[in-house]
Protein backbone atom coordinates (compact mmCIF):
# COMPACT_ATOMS: atom_id res chain seq x y z
CA UNK A 1 0.00 0.00 0.00
CA UNK A 2 1.15 3.49 -0.71
CA UNK A 3 1.77 6.19 1.84
CA UNK A 4 -1.23 8.12 0.57
CA UNK A 5 -3.49 5.16 1.37
CA UNK A 6 -2.19 5.05 4.95
CA UNK A 7 -2.78 8.77 5.34
CA UNK A 8 -6.34 8.44 4.05
CA UNK A 9 -7.06 5.55 6.43
CA UNK A 10 -5.67 7.40 9.47
CA UNK A 11 -7.48 10.63 8.62
CA UNK A 12 -10.78 8.87 8.03
CA UNK A 13 -10.47 7.04 11.36
CA UNK A 14 -9.75 10.35 13.08
CA UNK A 15 -12.76 12.05 11.47
CA UNK A 16 -15.10 9.22 12.43
CA UNK A 17 -13.85 9.22 16.03
CA UNK A 18 -13.95 13.02 16.25
CA UNK A 19 -17.58 13.27 15.19
CA UNK A 20 -18.92 10.11 16.84
CA UNK A 21 -17.51 10.78 20.33
CA UNK A 22 -19.84 13.71 21.17
CA UNK A 23 -22.79 11.69 19.86
CA UNK A 24 -21.82 8.73 22.04
CA UNK A 25 -21.49 10.99 25.10
CA UNK A 26 -24.96 12.47 24.53
CA UNK A 27 -26.44 9.01 24.01
CA UNK A 28 -24.80 7.72 27.20
CA UNK A 29 -26.26 10.55 29.28
CA UNK A 30 -29.68 10.09 27.67
CA UNK A 31 -29.67 6.34 28.34
CA UNK A 32 -28.39 6.76 31.90
CA UNK A 33 -25.19 4.85 31.22
CA UNK A 34 -23.00 7.31 33.16
CA UNK A 35 -22.12 6.20 36.67
CA UNK A 36 -22.42 8.76 39.46
CA UNK A 37 -19.93 7.65 42.12
CA UNK A 38 -20.80 7.94 45.77
CA UNK A 39 -18.74 7.65 48.97
CA UNK A 40 -18.23 3.89 48.60
CA UNK A 41 -16.93 4.03 45.02
CA UNK A 42 -13.91 6.25 45.65
CA UNK A 43 -10.54 4.65 44.86
Q: For residue 11, give Cα distances in angstroms to 3, 15, 32, 34.
A: 12, 6, 32, 29
Q: Identify the pLDDT of residue 41.
A: 75
| pTM for the full predicted model | 0.67
Model confidence pLDDT, tens digit, residues 1-42? 899 999 999 999 999 999 999 999 999 999 999 988 888 877
pLDDT attached to residue 22 = 98
14-37 residues labelled b (16+ CB within 10 A) or e (exposed): eeeeeeeeeeeeeeeeeeeeeeee
Amino acid sequence: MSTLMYIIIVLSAFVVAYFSTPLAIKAAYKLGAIDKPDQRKVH
